[in-house]
Structure 1
Amino acid sequence: MGNRAYNFNAGPAALPLEVLEQAQQEFVDFRGIGMSIMEISHRSAQYEQVHQETQNLLKELFNIPQGYKVLFLTGGASTQFAMVPMNFLQPGSVGAYSLSGAWADKAIKEAKLFGETVIAASSKEQKYMRMPDLSNLSLPENTAYLHVTSNETIEGSQLQSYPDTGNIPLIADMSSDILSRQVDVSKFGMIYAGAQKNLGPSGVTVVIVREDMLEKANQSVPTMLRYDTHVKNDSLYNTPPSYSIYMINLVLQWIKRQGGLDVLSKINRDKTSLIYDTIDNSAGFYKGCVDVDSRSIMNITFRLQTEELEKQFAKESEQQGFVGLKGHRSVGGLRASTYNAVPYESCKALADFMNDFSKRNG
């Protein structure tokens, strides 16, 4: 597979090559049953084994404590933006949000459709080029939850630590950095993440919800949009995205073979440092967008001195086999997404290309 691209797409994103090869081998005949896993019933013993195995692997690798349920839902994080307030924003309470970037802003806009919201912290005045300070929050007594976005994919910022919210449930959108590092899951009332960055292909959303959250959830919500529906039915209330869940299973097995999250976290920091060091040592040719103490290890955003140079960089990088380096259309610039499955060698190749480009154009 020597013709594999250097894939820095922001999502859907790179998947481990050995995972793709295993899926290829099992595509037509899954574990000797004479059918693809896409062809079998989600009520079959073969699929239910994969379903349970995937939940158990996630619990093991992410150190999910007792009292939490793992759900496989559809609709991406964008649906979760609405499901969270629909289920947990009771009349007379407020949903508190950290406004950290484009994705947090979308979550807030959805919440406002269902109840009162407050901005607990914001970095909007800094143009989202850093994460909001969550160290001295003052939340209203009637706060139903605090919602944070752990990593802003578009801007390239990442929370370095999480606040202690006491009795107020902490809810996190971890779509961009789940399983890139270990976190204390017991701090959270709920975590959710679209799969298409670190977990697998698009089509499935992982939700990790603390069971006591369900006791105070709204009941006047459509059946499919209630978390307790999916908890009671083990994410099998309707036909699940079975192939995407199977792919998550293979990715989780791959993570386990790498040595788990402690090993992956070190690899992620090492490979990301290659690119950040290139930016910082370029004598101003490259400029990192985000404040150093908020930099993401998943999405590296940077600019060049002119937009013309950025266009030239994008064009030449594509010719050299690099994919996905253009910044999001809403902010421009350049972005390298270095998710778990992006190899160290790809980041080394990008750093080398960046050094060569600066020498030729500096």
Structure 2
Amino acid sequence: MSERPEIIHYFGAGPALLPNDVLKQAAADLINYQGTGLGLGELSHRSAPAIAVVDSAKESVKKLLDVPDSHEVCFLQSGGTGEFSALVYNLLAAHAKKTGKKGIANYLVTGSWSQKAAEEAKRLGADVNVAVNAKINGKYGTIPPPSEWSLSPPEQTAYVYYCDNETVNGVEFGYIPPVPEGVELVSDMSSNIMSRKVDVSKFGAIFAGVQKNIGIAGATVVIIKKSLLEKPADSELVALGIPLAPIVFDFATIAKNNSLYNTLPIFNVHIVSLTLARLLKNGGIPVQQVISGRKAEKLYMALDSATEGVYMLPVAKEVRSRMNIVFTIPGEGREKAFLEGAKKKGMTGLSGHRSVGGIRISSYNAVSEQSIDLLVDYINDFAKTI
């Protein structure tokens, strides 16, 4: 088996780069976990070692994000797209428990993923209010100020949903969206979780597909307010026109069973646990937030300072993502030349999402500053050839 290079200059958006030491430990654990003679993927999800993996991962999430006692941490299968559905079922049910009514699902649509989430909610039968539609001339690249949002009346609002970082479009919230007191705020943090501090107490629920910043595909972490686990009887929900959650998406059931109601992919959660333990060892979120900001600053400075017209950045400066830096290079064949030149220097994963094209640099936690510096030099050198 060939040895993996110590530093890999990979900027893919997800599944994404993982730290070498995490992968080496995970590889060993996949073969023989803690001397059991069995790989972690072979052990029962209800065995003592598997339960310890889940507990360890949960504890690390709580430590890193300072999760208050008012909230529960769960791991589920499905990825972020599955949570688009799960949140509809669970948050509508929680609102019905509180008010006896169905409630309106509000969505702040600022990019492709929040758009997909809103479409899924509507497909499942939720009464959806798109309080923000940030698409202008068919493209996303800005976030309207809260004064322009059209939220439903607070007493009718089941939740307000937003995507903290739009991976495809390179748009990121620089603040926690303000909502009326008593209204539950829900966030998809799949692509920027563990990159900066978050006041979890302000959220009804946070979720993240782990394959972008903290793990491999197949698992999702959900942080949910414990009070939202309460819901009416199924018959009451049916009478109100609220869809029943499939049991594997029912947060109350998942929480009650320590995320192990069904066969959770323990190996995937183990990689999350290893990644988070490494992050804690290296100083936690405060240190990572500084690093993430510094990497993004280097990239944007290089792109902005290039000769005018070489690199076109479609996202308004105040909402530019730290995790996913997107741009285009006008001119026949120039983007192809950029990608080919980068590949010759060992830099891959830079193609934009198939729906928007262009170039996309994903600077997740595992992407080293050495890789960013190499890419910055290339950005500067390429601009000189135009």
Q: TM-score range by the shorter chain?
A: over 0.9
Tell me what 2:66 maps to: 63
Per-residue CA deviations over 1:72-107 (Å, capped at 9, x if unaligned) read 111111111111112223554210000101001100
CA separation of 1:307 and 1:146: change in aligned 2, threshold 3 A: farther
Aligned to 2:205: 190
Residue 344 of structure 2 is matched in structure 1 by 319
Find the partner of 2:108 among 98, 102, 109: 98
Q: Which range moved further: 215-224 or 299-308?
A: 215-224
- The match for 1:205 is 220
2:259: which partner in 1? Answer: 235
1:346 match: 371
Whether 1:15 and 2:18 are equivalent positions in the alignment is yes
Q: TM-score, normalised by structure 1?
A: 0.96
Q: Specify which of 283, 298, 302 is matched with residue 327 of structure 2.
A: 302
- Whether the 8 Å contact between 1:86 and 1:218 is mirrored in structure 2 is no
TM-score by length of 2: 0.90
CA distance in 2, matches of 1:217, 1:303: 50
Paired residues of 1:99 and 1:123 also in contact (CA < 8 A): yes
Give the letter aligned to residue 182 of structure 2. Answer: N
2:109 maps to 1:123: no
Cα drift, residue 176 of structure 1: 0.8
Q: After the TM superposition, which of the residue ranges 133-142 and 345-354 deviates more from structure 2?
A: 133-142
How big is each residue's C-alpha offset from its partner over 1:225-274, in whole Å with a ceiling of 9 and x where there is no partner?
21111011111101101100000010001111110001001001111111
Quick one: which of 359, 368, 372 aligns to 1:334?
359
Note closer, same or farther for the CA distance 1:258–1:136 as it changes in structure 2 (3 Å cut): farther
Alignment equivalent of 2:44, drawn from 41, 44, 51:
41
Per-residue Cα deviation, 1:147-184 (whole angstroms, up to 9, x for no partner) = 01000000101000012322010000111111110110
- Counterpart of 2:172 in structure 1 is 158
C-alpha separation in 2, matches of 1:167 and 1:139: 14
CA contact (8 A) 2:218 2:265 kept: yes
RMSD: 1.6
Rounded to whole Å, the distance in 1 between the matches of 2:232 and 2:12 is 36
Aligned to 2:241: none
Tell me which amino acid in the other structure corresponds to 2:69: Q
1:54 aligns with 2:85: no
| CA displacement 1:299-338 (0-9 Å, x = unmatched) | 0001112251011111121122111101111111100000
Distance 1:135 1:235, change over 3 A: farther
Give 1:26's aligned residue: 29
Structure 2: runs of 5+ lacking an equivalent? 235-243
Q: Distance in 2 between matches of 1:298 and 1:353?
A: 19
Q: Distance in 2 between matches of 1:221 and 1:86?
A: 5
Q: How many residues align?
A: 361
Q: 1:258 to 1:112 in 2, by over 3 A?
A: same
Q: Deviations over 1:5-46 (max 9, x none)?
A: 311000000101111122233332212222211111111111
Helix, strand or coil for the counterpart of 2:130? strand
Change (3 A) 1:195 1:218: farther
Letter matched to residue 188 of structure 1: F
CA distance in 1, matches of 2:51, 2:6: 36
Distance in 1 between the 2:36 and 2:249 partners?
A: 34
Paired position in structure 2 for 1:143: 157
Alignment partner of 1:288 out of 294, 298, 313: 313
105-114 or 280-289, which moves further after superposition? 280-289
Evaluate the alpha carbon distance shift between residue 116 and residue 218 of structure 1 in structure 2; reply closer, same or farther with a 3 A threshold. Answer: farther
The offset of 1:136, in angstroms, is 5.9
The one-letter code matched in structure 2 to 1:251 is T
- CA distance in 2 between partners of 1:133 and 1:22 (Å): 45
* Closer, same or farther: CA 3–133 of 1 in aligned 2, 3 Å: same
Identity fraction in percent: 38
Compared with structure 1, are the counterparts of its residues 218 and 12 closer, same or farther at alpha carbon in structure 2 (3 Å cutoff)? farther
Give the match for residue 282 of structure 2: 258
User: Is the Cα contact below 8 Å between 1:87 and 1:217 reproduced in 2?
Assistant: no
